[in-house]
Amino acid sequence: MTEVEVDIPVSAYHERMRKLFRRHHVAITRDDLRGDGPVGDDLDASSAFILLYRQYLRDRWDVFDLDFRQDRHDWSLALTAEERESFLGIAASFLHGSRQLEVDLAEFMAGTAEEHKLHVAAQIETQARHTAFFGRFLCEVVDLEPTADATILDRTFPLVQETFVGPFGLLAFQAEELRRNPHDPQARVRYGTTCFLWIQGVLAASFSSVLLGFAAGRGMLPAFVAGARAMYLDHARHVRGGLLFLQQELRRDPAVVDDIYATLRTILMVSAVSSRQAFHEPLGWSGDEIRLLVSSSLRRKCTDLGITLPAELEALLLPISGQV
């Protein structure tokens, strides 16, 4: 079996990069999508989505193979109350985010080409797996069991951090737009920007790094680390497909870059306003480090997409630091 190393960024408080491993799989790079990569000179979008589907088939993992008994012990005895509170806020946010994508992605899939449908259908199944993963963690490790009057989603909603509430509220509105007209190209670009560029490309990548860096760096919560590692790689696949879609739309009509910028403007303005702060210092991250993590992630994704953030959007990145 061939393995490749994946760097997961950690806080400046940790001296070492954590190395996570995965099976060798069909990797699609930005050069591949241009048509001059190792998979051939004629790779089109349809071929790329099929390759992403092949990667999904190779990367599938079973959430019910995970044994959370050691995690339950670590959660009770190895973490402080402040660490548990900070960790729980992010985990609850991932649970609700995964559940919403599991439902809303069907509206986006309705307007896609056949080969793209393979990739999005796989993503919906993967989001269901992520929902089950965080549900198991919260029930079996944190002991937030559902009751007769409240599901696990009901019980954890007050814990969801506001950094996640705004973008997912916007995504729900955009999904309703697509339900009414699934083939509207501008509505699809707006949805793709929120879902693939921001939520999965920035939020999921950044905050899964926070959780992984903390748990793996401390050598605890082994089942969570195993599942979060697999989830991190799932998100990377989803983002590649999402950026491919946005690249297609930009080539078809360069004017849709205005829809991308307008959507990011809305997200950044919402992210700059909060009624309560989320503190990640217990997990080893200062507010400035979180701001750098989120901002640099957004800039990298825009570079991959082939666009540059305008000065007004760069300015909006600055207030995020105390709110995420």
Q: Coil, strand or helix: which one is 73?
A: helix
Domain assignment present for 27: no
Return the amino acid letter for 91: A
Domain assignment present for 192: yes
Would residue 122 be called left, alpha or beta, if left means φ above 0 and alpha means ψ between -120 and 50 degrees? alpha
Query: Measured between alpha carbons, how far is 95 from 102 in angstroms, rounded to an integer?
Result: 11
Q: Locate tokens 């999508």: which residue?
A: 33
pTM of the entire predicted model = 0.84
Query: Measured between alpha carbons, how far is 140 from 208 in angstroms, rounded to an integer?
Result: 20
Single out the residue of 289, 245, 294 nearest to residue 272, CA to CA: 294
Domain assignment present for 121: yes
> Which whole-number Å values give the CA distances from 156 to 135, 160, 273, in the listed order?
10, 7, 22
**Domain carrying residue 165:** 64-316
Domain assignment present for 34: no
Contact at 8 Å (CB) between 248 and 188?
no
Contact at 8 Å (CB) between 70 and 222?
yes
Query: Measured between alpha carbons, how far is 274 from 256 in angstroms, rounded to an integer?
Result: 29
Q: Coil, strand or helix: which one is 22?
A: strand
Helix (H) or strand (E) holding 3: strand 3-8
Query: Measured between alpha carbons, how far is 32 from 49 in angstroms, rounded to an integer?
Result: 12
Q: Coil, strand or helix: which one is 37?
A: strand
Domain assignment present for 321: no
Domain assignment present for 276: yes
Structural domains of the chain, count: 1
Domain assignment present for 79: yes
Contact at 8 Å (CB) between 209 and 293?
yes
Measured at the CA of 242, the angle between CA 303 and CA 300, to 5 degrees, comes to 20
- CA 32 to chain centroid, in Å, comes to 23
CATH number at residue 303: 1.10.620.20
> Which whole-number Å values give the CA distances from 126 to 110, 129, 237, in the listed order?
18, 5, 11
Q: Coil, strand or helix: which one is 110?
A: coil
Q: pLDDT of the chain along its 324 residues, tens only? A: 334 444 444 443 333 333 333 333 334 444 444 433 333 334 567 788 999 999 999 999 999 999 999 999 999 999 999 999 999 999 999 999 999 999 999 999 999 999 999 999 999 999 999 999 999 999 999 998 877 667 888 888 888 888 888 899 999 999 999 999 999 999 999 999 999 999 999 999 999 999 999 999 999 999 999 999 999 999 999 999 999 999 999 999 999 999 999 999 999 988 776 656 677 899 998 888 888 889 999 999 999 999 999 999 998 886 554 444
Domain assignment present for 324: no
Query: Measured between alpha carbons, how far is 81 from 324 in angstroms, rounded to an integer?
Result: 20
Contacts of 13 (CB under 8 A, 6+ apart): 284, 285
DSSP lists the bridge partners of residue 8 as 18
